[in-house]
Amino acid sequence: MKTKSLPYIVTLGVLYGTTMVASRFSVALIKPATYISLRMMIASLGFLVIYGLRLGGRRFPHSKKLWKQAALLGIFGTITPMLLIVSSLQYQSSGVTSVLVTSSPAITILMAHLFLHDEKITWIKGIGITLALGGGLFLAIRGESGLPDLSAAKPIGYIMVLVGMLSGSAMTIYARKYMGEQNVFDVAGARIFVSAMVMIPWSIYFLREDIRHLNVMGWEAVFYAAVSGTFIAILLDFYNVKHFGATASAMVSYVVPIVASFIGVILLHETVTLGMLAGMVLILTGLVLINVF
């Protein structure tokens, strides 16, 4: 991995980590579905600007195949994971949630071993997967919530994160297997458009009432998550993969839980326990074995 990629890795990790904190703040004010709808609508406007101005020579995609595949990715690779993971923030801290989500590469690699003939697990990666998933299980058994007013987390929060990661990982495998020839940027834009279109009808019933509960800080959190944590983050991730490779993209996973935990403690008065740190160490150690060896 090139050392010049480090600023981009850290920046993307900060964007994702702070967005997790912004998400937890937002779902305390409005329903998760409304929050995600607003976030997707705002982010999709960014892609419309790029296509409308033809920045970088990009044209709005018209491929029916792309839109059909993007619909699947949008529903099961974006909406389902995001809705479940954001909803879990009602039951646990952004720090705990980000630590759990960090183990998703282990799930993806395990599923790739089962469904992709060219993605086989070595014994070292097998140990890494065991450590990463074991770290998540350790947190669940301890009932870590990361919230000062809860002695133990509700299992529903952990279940939501797990199902969300399984859905996201399954769509990653789908994209690798069937969408290798598609333009990565167009895929990202199309899945955001689809996500926005699907979520708008779902939340329209709650939208008017929920918006009344959004104060200035609430709107700032929504716009930050949409612009920085979705639109800019997708572009930066696209840049990282293109210029520095998949390893640099995977390294972002090490930064996110540190940022989310630290900012969550400062802004939302979340807590970090020795159990959380132990679980984080197990997961990050597992990811090192998965990505380096």
Contact 199, 37 (CB under 8 A): yes
Q: pLDDT-derived band of residue 208, with 50, 70 and 90 as boundaries?
A: low
Alpha carbon distances (Å) from 212 to 24, 39, 67: 18, 17, 34
R_g (Cα) of the chain, nearest Å: 18
Q: pLDDT-derived band of residue 207, with 50, 70 and 90 as boundaries?
A: low
Closest CA to 119 of 160, 201, 196, 176: 176
As a whole number of angstroms, the distance between CA 14 and CA 263 comes to 10
Report pLDDT for 211: 77
Q: Render pLDDT for 20-30 as a digit per residue (tens, 0 to 9).
A: 999 999 998 88
Report pLDDT for 293: 67
Q: Render pLDDT for 96-141 as a digit per residue (tens, 0 to 9).
A: 999 999 888 888 888 888 888 777 788 898 999 999 999 999 998 8
Highest mean pLDDT among 135-144, 206-215, 244-253: 135-144
Q: Is 199 left (phi over 0), alpha (psi -120 to 50) or beta?
A: alpha
Ranking 73-77, 204-208, 216-220, 248-252 by mean pLDDT, the lowest is: 204-208
As a whole number of angstroms, the distance between CA 168 and CA 113 comes to 16
Report pLDDT for 254: 84
Report pLDDT for 178: 85
Query: Who has greater pLDDT, 15 or 150?
Result: 15
Q: pLDDT-derived band of residue 152, with 50, 70 and 90 as boundaries?
A: low
Closest CA to 292 of 97, 95, 105, 138: 105
Report pLDDT for 227: 94
Q: Is 245 left (phi over 0), alpha (psi -120 to 50) or beta?
A: left
Q: Render pLDDT for 194-203 as a digit per residue (tens, 0 to 9).
A: 999 988 887 7
Query: Does the pLDDT at position 150 exceed 70?
Result: no
Q: How many CB atoms lie within 10 A of CB 80?
A: 19
Contact 222, 38 (CB under 8 A): yes
Report pLDDT for 200: 82
Arithmetic mean of pLDDT, 137-160: 84
